[in-house]
Amino acid sequence: MLEVSNISVAYGKHLAVDSIGLRVAPGEIALILGANGSGKTSLLKAIAGMQPATGASVRLAGRELAGLPAHTIVEAGLALVPEGRGVFGELTVRENLELGAFAKRARPAEAKNLRHVLELFPRLGERLAQQVRTMSGGEQQMVAVGRALMSAPEILLLDEPSLGLSPLMCKELFAALARIRDKGLGILLVEQNAKRSLAIADRGYLIANGRIVGDGSAASLRDDPAVQRAYLGAAEPGRAMPPPDGA
């Protein structure tokens, strides 16, 4: 169980994340929906220790992680697939996956996790010797998710994994995420693709200007007219409402 409370991120005077709290249980997908610039990336980076945060408590299985360096947080069982993937493009698929298991916690189950990842993304198995830089965006995203899974995490954070993927790739990726959840991992998913992500998520949070402005089960969010207006492109009866930027 990941429990985050009162986390804030400031860039100079600008407060990008304003005292957010959330939790992710094992075996569930918690979704974060929010417009561009609402602070989603800052929030995930702060939880993963990649971005300094203030006043936060980040507890994983009861252990306090706030303030620890990012590499130690991975060791504690929390893995981030960042915006833009963060794969090692110069290295091969095999080397990327091998580095995924760099954490000591990942070593005992490394062979099993590798089998699991290759089962989830069979395409990676065919491309083990390929330099990641030369792969398609969707394949690179699979490397990023696979690499994160190799660290044997309890909680997986994903920042817009479907960005730039074709509908088919996107479907494949989301099916994989659902299977990862079914194995008992907790997933915190940031997405712009509200329709697809609400279809696999269990719960969701709405975030605007760095604050949580709503939350609920995936079903209740799907039926919420405000959500439909803002993220699902539905028009209000009577007048047409354009969706906000980028949604």
Partner 1 sequence: MFTAALTSGLVLGGMYALIAMGLTLQYGVARIMNLAHGELMIAAAFAALWLFTSAAVNPLLGLLIIVPAAFAISGTIYRLLLTPLVRRAPNRDALEVDSILATFGMLFVIQGIMLVMFGGAYFSYSFLAFPVTIAGATVAANRLLALAFAAVIGLALYLYLTRTRLGTAVRAVAVDPQSAPLVAIDVRATAALAFAFGGALVAAAGVLVSMFLTFNANIGVVFTMKALIVVIMGGVGNLLGCLVAGLILGLAETFVATFVDPGLTLATTYALFLIILLVRPQGLFGTASR
Enumerate binding residues for Mg ion (CB under 5 A).
41, 83
Nearest 5°: phi and psi at 111?
-65, -40
Q: Binding ligand ATP by CB under 6 A: which of 8, 42, 140, 193?
A: 42
36 contact choice in Mg ion, partner 1, ligand ATP, none (CB below 5 to 8 Å, kind-dependent): ligand ATP
Residue nearer to Mg ion on the CB measure, 83 or 202 = 83
Query: By C-alpha distance, which of 168, 164, 13, 148 is closest to 82?
Result: 148
Q: Does 36 participate in binding ligand ATP (rule CB under 6 A)?
A: yes
Query: Which DSSP string do the residues of 91-151 spell out, in sequence order?
Result: SBHHHHHHHHTTSGGGSTTHHHHHHHHHHH-HHHHHTTTSBGGGS-HHHHHHHHHHHHHHT
CB 165 within 8 Å of CB 196:
no
Residues in 53-82 that interact with partner 1 by CB under 8 A:
69-72, 74-75, 79-80, 82
Residue nearer to ligand ATP on the CB measure, 34 or 186 = 34
The β-bridge partners of 39 are none
Q: Does 37 participate in binding ligand ATP (rule CB under 6 A)?
A: yes
CB of 76 to partner 1, least distance (A): 10
CB of 191 to ligand ATP, least distance (A): 10
Q: Which two tokens stand for residue 101?
A: 């298991």
Instruction: Determine the angle formed by the axes of helices 110-120 and 137-150, rounding to 10 degrees.
Output: 150
- Pairing between β-strand 78-81 and β-strand 155-159 as defined by DSSP bridges: parallel
Q: Does 95 participate in binding partner 1 (rule CB under 8 A)?
A: yes
Q: Which residues contact 14 (CB under 8 A, 6 or more apart)?
A: none
CB of 100 to Mg ion, least distance (A): 22
Q: Which of the ranges 14-22, 26-34, 36-44, 147-155 carries the binding residues for partner 1, by CB under 8 A? A: 147-155
CB of 63 to ligand ATP, least distance (A): 25
Which residues would be at the binding site for partner 1 (CB under 8 A)? 48-50, 69-72, 74-75, 79-80, 82, 86-91, 95, 98-104, 106, 147-148, 151
